[in-house]
Amino acid sequence: MHDLLLKNAQVFTGSPEAVARTLAVSGGRIAAVGCPEDAPARETVDAGGRWLLPGFVDCHTHALYAGDRMAEHLMKMQGASYADIAKAGGGIISTVKAVRAASENQLIEQTLPRLHALAAEGVTSIEIKSGYGLDLETELKMLRAIRALPRHIALDVTATFIGAHAVPPGTSRKTDMEDVLDKMRPSVAEEKLADTVDIFVEHIAFDVGDLGRLAEKAAKLGLKLRAHTDQLSNLGATRRAAELGALSCDHLEYMDEADATAMGKAGTVAVLLPAAFYFLKETRKPPVELLRRHRVSMAVATDLNPGTSPVPSLLTAMHMAGIFFGLTADEVLAGVTRNAARALGLEGRIGALAPGLDADFCLWDVPAPGFFSYQMGGIRPMQRFFKGKRT
Ligand SMILES: [Zn+2]
């Protein structure tokens, strides 16, 4: 006896020819796909021929923060310079100050509306990074708040420690790395506050040497590596991160063929962040054709953050991935399901509709899954299921 049976559905299993009609759930997991329509179940839902898709996975966000950067953005739109903005108290440091001043509960309260917006669009899993503390106490506060979020919302949350996000004011880069690597990481691991670690490799942040040292420390602590690479310039960080076994490299606007080769070889996922590209009015695009040629899996995420992507909408990022980066509708869907799960190292648990995986899925009243790459806005799932329960 199954807990739940969805019948008369178009069950999306990743390829157009592999569509099943039924899906059964037991104990919060998918028990069967394509079982008989009269299989015994405590509850049977007639999907009326609608599409059943895996819950979407937003695999790259900085969704936990306090305050906003609206004033700075409005100034920028009127042509203000970085100096003007810094003088007015803007920039990442203003977020660091707001996060340091907020309590753990205030951080949770301010973050939940953004997560509800994502969940209402069919997101069932999200990754959230720390990184606005830049000191041990605040980074730990952020990670504890991230860990507490699933008590307030039906959402899977992967916590990423990104102590190496920006250089704190008043310190040299070298002192900061020592701080990050030797003080912060052990406490993060002891309290099991993080699943993965991340680093921002860029001429304005950390370098390829720092990436190597981070990877070494992370491996010892059993934490998987991810990296922000090639967003503003190519420092060779993407190929190095791939060689180091990174789960994903993210942004990638400046990556080249050597990077694509290394990623394909290592199975590192390319996470594309078109909402940040849009918000920053960037013109350089990630080389999607190279990624295809080297069989690099592509994921799409919101990069939700107060400074460069205040976009709590994965459907918007999905649409932008098609318009700006030329991803096909199939690539976009894979990018927020199985490839996003791979970027988190969770492909055996979420991101697909297959027996044994978590029963996270949504019923959509769309003519075909490609509709997400066509209509922008105004699409919501009819029903959302999280671990087999309607939410
Ligand atoms: Zn980011």
Q: How far apart are CA 155 and CA 55, in angstroms?
A: 10
Question: pLDDT-based confidence at 91, cuts 50/70/90?
Answer: confident
Query: Could you give the percent of the chain with pLDDT greater than 90?
Result: 79
C-alpha of residue 391 to centroid of ligand 1, in Å? 28
pLDDT at 47: 96
State the average pLDDT for the chain.
Answer: 92
What DSSP line would sit under 299-364, residue for residue?
EE----BTTTB----HHHHHHHHHHTT---HHHHHHHTTHHHHHHTT-TTTSSS--TTSB--EEEE
Query: What 8-state DSSP symbol labels residue 135?
Result: S
List all residues 6 or more positions away from 303 whose beta carbon is below 8 Å from its beta carbon: 60, 61, 62, 250, 273, 275, 276, 309, 311, 317
C-alpha of residue 231 to centroid of ligand 1, in Å? 10
CA-derived radius of gyration, the chain = 21
C-alpha of residue 276 to centroid of ligand 1, in Å? 9
C-alpha of residue 361 to centroid of ligand 1, in Å? 26
C-alpha of residue 105 to centroid of ligand 1, in Å? 23
C-alpha of residue 249 to centroid of ligand 1, in Å? 10
pLDDT at 89: 81
Contact 388, 3 (CB under 8 A): yes
C-alpha of residue 46 to centroid of ligand 1, in Å? 40
C-alpha of residue 309 to centroid of ligand 1, in Å? 9
C-alpha of residue 229 to centroid of ligand 1, in Å? 10
The tens digit of pLDDT for each residue in 38-48 reads 999 999 999 99
C-alpha of residue 130 to centroid of ligand 1, in Å? 10
Contact 197, 180 (CB under 8 A): no
The tens digit of pLDDT for each residue in 111-159 reads 999 999 999 999 999 999 999 988 888 999 999 999 999 999 999 999 9
Q: How far apart are CA 15 and CA 182, in angstroms?
A: 46
C-alpha of residue 127 to centroid of ligand 1, in Å? 11
Question: pLDDT-based confidence at 264, cuts 50/70/90?
Answer: very high
pLDDT at 251: 93
pLDDT at 325 over 70: yes
Q: What is the pTM of this model?
A: 0.95
C-alpha of residue 53 to centroid of ligand 1, in Å? 26
pLDDT at 14 over 80: no
Lowest model confidence (mean pLDDT) among 33-47, 74-88, 160-174, 217-231: 160-174
* Phi, psi at 128, each rounded to 5°: -130, 135
The tens digit of pLDDT for each residue in 170-225 reads 666 655 655 666 677 677 777 889 999 999 898 888 889 989 988 988 888 888 99
Token pair recorded at residue 217: 């420390």
pLDDT at 262 over 70: yes
Lowest model confidence (mean pLDDT) among 207-211, 266-270, 341-345, 365-369: 207-211
**Between the CA of residue 59 and those of 145, 165, 188, 204, 248, what are the distances in Å?**
18, 17, 20, 24, 10
Handedness of CA 274, 280, 282, 286 (dihedral sign): negative
Q: From edge to edge, which strands make up the β-sheet containing 298-300?
A: 56-58, 123-129, 156-164, 196-199, 224-229, 248-251, 269-272, 298-300
